[in-house]
Chains A and B, each alone.
Chain A
Amino acid sequence: MTPDRDTGARQALSGRRAFLGLAATAVGGVLIAPGIHLMEIAQAAVPGASAAGANPRVHWGLLIDTTKCATGCDDCVSACNTENGLDPRPSPTSAQWIRKVEIKEIKTGRAQSLPVMCQHCAEPPCVDVCPTGASFKRADGIVLVDRHTCIGCRYCVMACPYKARSFVHEPLTGQKPDVPRGKGCVEGCTLCVHRVDKGGSPACVAACAKAGHHAMLFGDLNDPASAISIRVRELATSPLRADLKLGTGVRYQGLG
């Protein structure tokens, strides 16, 4: 091989290499660009949207004054059913996110009535056992089911000490736009996240207050100045099954 062809070959090679490098960069850019464009669009906020969402400094809680809870009153249950589009007729397969429970102490005969819903534990057993991570705890303490990931294995239903979870046994229609729910997934009280995220309170609390009973109080347990924090600091309140030490967000006043 003559020296001319050698250098010529080497020049051609480096020229090709440069071209390939450029082409690879260009192809890489072309591949990534749509993704960046996608993320731009997705993250672009609409003015007025609740961009904040779940605030990790907040810990939402519920305080239920059982002395103000009357047997036969189910305003909270009706409100929840209406807000979330649940079937109000109770049946063994109906989803009940909140229910009124009548209890009577066996030894003394003292009877009480109170609502029971997802207790939004700080250490939720349902979150521990979910195989896909669909049952999760939000940064602000609300325990939810991501129904895009739920496979309907019902392990969380087995694990929950409070019977908070329901399984959807049949195809559903007419869902509320803010509360998507469907057959084959597990669900439970969401503390009305769709309302809370917009600065509101759960439907049950709103209904109880609207009817004048004021048995339910919703607020931020991490804020020492909130009404609920003041109440739980001054009055005797307790979680259900305190022995399990789950750190529930829901507390009850007036239970023995």
Chain B
Amino acid sequence: MSSRLRSRRFYFGLAIGALLVLGGLGAAHYMEEHGHIVTGMTNQVVWGLPHVFAIFMIVAASGVLNVASIGSVFGQPLYKPRAPLSGLLCLALLAGGLMVLMLDLGRPDRMIVAATHYNLSSVFAWNVLLYSGMFAIVALYLWTMFERSMNRHSRTAGVLALAWRFVLTTGTGLIFGFLVARQAYGSAMLAPLFIVLSFAWGLAVFLIVQSALYAWNAQVLDSAVQRRMARLLGVFVAAAFHLVLVVHLTSLYFARQADFEAFILRDGGVFPLLLWGGYAVAGTLAPLLLLFHPRLAGPRSALLAAALVVLGAFAWLYVFIIGGQAFPLEIFPGYAVSSSFGDGAIAHYAPRLPELLLGLGGVGVAFVLTAVGVRVLDFMPKDDFAAPQSGTVKGAA
């Protein structure tokens, strides 16, 4: 491909990304001007679609750094050249996710208050510190990888980044884990669940970005590398499903959770649909088949599997975040309840355009940061061995 065409394609892509960002910023301004009444959020469902996007990006940001960790901390040679790209993606996704979260605040003009007033019993307050620290640590990590004289420190930086993101993802899971009142949350399991989910989602995003970058730069990913990463994704997807299964099984075992599980798994309309169809089938079963089945496995299947994992992630998060709020709080166990404030009633939530635009704006920010980063600096993975040129032999399984 001529470099001119590549340039044009780059600027076109950048323009799309910039448009998404502008849309997101415009939506945020509209929401700030008129209040959250222009969204589908109510006093029953206070965290909506923007939070689905934001939490996906934040969890994926933590997980995408896994690739670097496997390389520098666990010393796997195939992953080492991928570490810088993984670091860049971490920063980009974190930036996008945090932007969505901060712009969705009721008073985003009070960001300074959030940065100067800390209630240290709040996981949110800890997260402000953890996320900011994450930016610094990943930047430091990237520096140790790029600056030749600092290369010998990259393992230390990698270990620090690994430890930090474990704490960070635990914190993200505990945002929900610490909520004793809601039947969907209030469980210590959510911390390890979010960690394993981060592995799966982060690797899926990495695979998608890697494929795209290789395709757009007319390079071919070595089939051994591709196969290895694909299998790893499969392992993570299976592990995540295991934890989700355990959470639901335990919940089903408790009589007091029966109504909630019935809602999420059978009676809740869009929620069971998304959980079974979106997460279980499309987001777990199909990717596992595509990644492990001898006749289906291959680079194209792996890419499709990664995309499906991301879709499944959004489906699971929607059920988790919104389904968890739609089911009414149990203030009077054993009673049928009704009131003018939605007590006892399933809440209805329909996302509106500003929320979708804001979420996509975050994705746009991540995209723009990644694209510019890869263009300007040397993030493309450079394998030590010669990769076969185009027209490669179909990867034998």
**When A and B assemble into the complex, do they touch directly, with CB atoms less than 8 Å apart?**
yes
Whether, in the assembled complex, A104 has its beta carbon less than 8 Å from a beta carbon of chain B, the answer is yes
Residues of A near B47 (CB, < 8 A) are 154, 158
Interface-side segment among B89-97, B230-238, B330-338, B372-380:
B330-338
Closest to B348 in A: A92
Whether, in the assembled complex, A233 has its beta carbon less than 8 Å from a beta carbon of chain B, the answer is no
> Cα distance A183–B109 when bound, in Å?
12
Whether B113 and A151, one on each chain, are in contact in the complex, defined by CB atoms closer than 8 angstroms, is yes
Whether, in the assembled complex, A150 has its beta carbon less than 8 Å from a beta carbon of chain B, the answer is yes
Residues of A near B344 (CB, < 8 A) are 101
> Shortest distance in angstroms between B106's beta carbon and chain A's nearest beta carbon?
2
Whether, in the assembled complex, B128 has its beta carbon less than 8 Å from a beta carbon of chain A, the answer is yes
Whether, in the assembled complex, B181 has its beta carbon less than 8 Å from a beta carbon of chain A, the answer is yes
**Beta-carbon contacts under 8 Å, B328-356 to A:** 329-344, 347
Whether A163 and B329, one on each chain, are in contact in the complex, defined by CB atoms closer than 8 angstroms, is yes
Closest to A95 in B: B43
Residues of A near B347 (CB, < 8 A) are 92
Other than the known A106-B334, A128-B122, A129-B179, what 9 A-B pairs have Cβ atoms closer than 8 Å? A125-B181, A128-B178, A131-B117, A131-B128, A161-B181, A168-B35, A169-B35, A169-B43, A184-B106
Whether, in the assembled complex, B365 has its beta carbon less than 8 Å from a beta carbon of chain A, the answer is no
Whether A170 and B35, one on each chain, are in contact in the complex, defined by CB atoms closer than 8 angstroms, is yes
Whether A161 and B180, one on each chain, are in contact in the complex, defined by CB atoms closer than 8 angstroms, is yes
Whether B180 and A96, one on each chain, are in contact in the complex, defined by CB atoms closer than 8 angstroms, is no
Q: How many residues of B contact A (CB 8 A)?
A: 53
Query: Contacts A99-B343, A183-B106 known; A132 to B114 CB distance under 8 Å?
Result: yes
Whether B343 and A152, one on each chain, are in contact in the complex, defined by CB atoms closer than 8 angstroms, is no
Q: Which residues of B contact A (CB under 8 A)?
A: 32, 34-37, 41-44, 46-47, 105-108, 110-111, 113-114, 117-119, 121-125, 127-128, 175, 178-182, 325, 329-344, 347
> Cα distance A106–B344 when bound, in Å?
13
Whether A129 and B123, one on each chain, are in contact in the complex, defined by CB atoms closer than 8 angstroms, is yes
Q: Which residues of A contact B (CB under 8 A)?
A: 90, 92-96, 99-107, 116, 125, 127-134, 149-155, 157-163, 166-171, 183-186, 240-241, 244
Whether A169 and B37, one on each chain, are in contact in the complex, defined by CB atoms closer than 8 angstroms, is yes
Whether A101 and B118, one on each chain, are in contact in the complex, defined by CB atoms closer than 8 angstroms, is no
Query: Given A105, A129, A160, which contacts B335 in the complex, CB threshold below 8 Å?
Result: A105
Whether B331 and A155, one on each chain, are in contact in the complex, defined by CB atoms closer than 8 angstroms, is no
Whether B106 and A150, one on each chain, are in contact in the complex, defined by CB atoms closer than 8 angstroms, is yes
Whether B35 and A171, one on each chain, are in contact in the complex, defined by CB atoms closer than 8 angstroms, is yes
Closest to B45 in A: A92
Residues of A near B110 (CB, < 8 A) are 149-152
Whether A104 and B336, one on each chain, are in contact in the complex, defined by CB atoms closer than 8 angstroms, is yes
Whether B43 and A125, one on each chain, are in contact in the complex, defined by CB atoms closer than 8 angstroms, is no
Chain A binding surface SS class: loop
Chain B binding surface SS class: loop
27 sample A-B contacts, Cβ–Cβ < 8 Å, listed by A number = A90-B341, A92-B42, A93-B43, A101-B344, A103-B335, A103-B337, A104-B336, A116-B331, A127-B121, A130-B122, A131-B122, A132-B125, A133-B117, A149-B113, A150-B106, A150-B107, A150-B110, A151-B111, A152-B107, A153-B106, A155-B175, A157-B46, A159-B181, A161-B180, A171-B34, A184-B105, A185-B107
Closest to A112 in B: B335
Residues of A near B36 (CB, < 8 A) are 93, 167, 169-170, 184
Closest to B175 in A: A155
A-B contact count (CB 8 A): 174
Whether A163 and B343, one on each chain, are in contact in the complex, defined by CB atoms closer than 8 angstroms, is yes
Closest to B128 in A: A131
Which of A100, A104, A127, A184 is the most central at the interface, judged by chain B CB atoms within 10 Å of its CB? Answer: A184
Whether A107 and B334, one on each chain, are in contact in the complex, defined by CB atoms closer than 8 angstroms, is yes
Whether B119 and A133, one on each chain, are in contact in the complex, defined by CB atoms closer than 8 angstroms, is yes
> Cα distance A152–B111 when bound, in Å?
11
Whether A155 and B343, one on each chain, are in contact in the complex, defined by CB atoms closer than 8 angstroms, is no
> Shortest distance in angstroms between B185's beta carbon and chain A's nearest beta carbon?
8
> Cα distance A170–B336 when bound, in Å?
31
Closest to A105 in B: B335
Query: Contacts A99-B341, A106-B336 known; A183 to B35 CB distance under 8 Å?
Result: yes
> Cα distance A132–B106 when bound, in Å?
14
Whether A244 and B180, one on each chain, are in contact in the complex, defined by CB atoms closer than 8 angstroms, is yes
Whether B331 and A240, one on each chain, are in contact in the complex, defined by CB atoms closer than 8 angstroms, is yes
Give the 10 A-B CB pairs with smallest separation, nearest first: A152-B106, A184-B106, A161-B181, A131-B124, A92-B42, A133-B119, A90-B340, A170-B35, A169-B37, A154-B46
> Cα distance A132–B124 when bound, in Å?
9
Query: Given B42, B180, B325, B338, which contacts A93 in the complex, CB threshold below 8 Å?
Result: B42
Whether A131 and B119, one on each chain, are in contact in the complex, defined by CB atoms closer than 8 angstroms, is yes
Closest to A147 in B: B107
Residues of A near B338 (CB, < 8 A) are 101-102
> Cα distance A102–B343 when bound, in Å?
9
Whether B113 and A105, one on each chain, are in contact in the complex, defined by CB atoms closer than 8 angstroms, is no
Residues of B near A149 (CB, < 8 A) are 110, 113, 117
Query: Contacts A131-B125, A162-B329, A163-B329 known; A116 to B339 CB distance under 8 Å?
Result: yes
Residues of A near B343 (CB, < 8 A) are 99, 101, 116, 163
> Cα distance A154–B325 when bound, in Å?
12
